[in-house]
Structure 1
Amino acid sequence: AKEEISIQPETFTPQKEVPAVAETSLSDVADIETKIPPKEERTKLWEKLQESYTSDKKQKTVSPTIEEELPPTIEEPSAILQEEKFVETPSVELEAEVKPEEIPLVKEAEEKPLTEKEKIEKEAKRLARSLVKDILLYHSDKVEIGLKQGNLAHLIGNEIRKSWRFYKDNFPLEKTGNVNYFKNALNEIIGKGKQIFK
């Protein structure tokens, strides 16, 4: 109880000092407000203020020294970041310099014209792989269950038949030299390299 009594007077003493400070500042403001210059002086002051404002504005736009002095103080952190970027860029440029040398070699190998048979083979493989990947993408759960239980043909047989018809319409076996690239893609992608489809 004694501690509470000793604390209470300390909290009240600053509150008494604060209004006294406020009263003195209000009296100072009242003195300032009473010293208003006459109308003519106010208009002259206003004109001077406008002139100084416009002259300051012109100096800021015309003089390059002010513009040059401000950016370094503001952009010092970004300058450090730019230096770090310059350190990283040479490695990228070196890689870019190496790549153009390699690209012509690859282009020379690809510039050899493919025969008609090779073009058909390439397109047939691409179509077969994309059809099988679509089956795997849209029916991955059935494929996993079918591989575990051994009833893959029962679970995704319809999808395989639809894709096979589409493949056969575009690339009949006579066109691909009796090579079934669709079956190869099924064994490679869905069968994971095992000869499930015969």
Structure 2
Amino acid sequence: MARSRGLRLMVYDRTCGGRWGLPGLTASWRAGSVLYRGLGRLDDWSGVASWPEALDWLLARSQDEPIAEIQYWGHGTWGCVLVDHKPLDVRALVPGHPWHERLAALRDRLVPGGDSLWWFRTCETFGTARGHAFARAWTRFFGCRAAGHTYTIGPWQSGLHSLRPGEVPSWSVEEGVQPGSDPARPTSLGSGPREPHTISCLGGRVPSGY
């Protein structure tokens, strides 16, 4: 299937350096962005240190062409995504939140017709009831498809699901959750090739049916 016309953009968290001078996750995400750009999977990318910086870059980059796809590479947890440990969750979709106006402006930059995609390549974001609520609220606000994971991800990225506006999540709220963990503070399972809905970090698209 041909992709929607429009920009394919990616932002990643540039604050995740390693300890004692060793490369951290930021180095991996930056290397991945260069690889994806070289393979023709992205039109542009940027490392960011805050959500306002991420949203401002996306808005500036899309002044002349609508956006078909946004990927975010960084940390996440149940029902939210993080830049420099600061969460972006359903609260930001409510008028009055400091980031709401930027998000509403970005919504207007998406390819019309609901064909754009937000893909959160982060741990756990679509997991548990909080992840379900985030997925439904995000797709309703932006009027487009969103994808995310229910497991801790790395080279393998399990529990990949997507949702369109008005749809109900088809995956269990228990997917990706360590059995017996505290429901108030659930522990996530690690990704692996035998876990459901798994791709590798080299996978550049959400498979059909996911």
Same fold (TM over 0.5): no
Q: Shorter-chain TM-score: which interval? A: under 0.3
Using structure 1 for the length normalisation, give the TM-score: 0.21
Could you say which structure has the higher strand fraction? 2
Which has the greater radius of gyration? 1
Could you say which structure has the higher helix fraction? 1
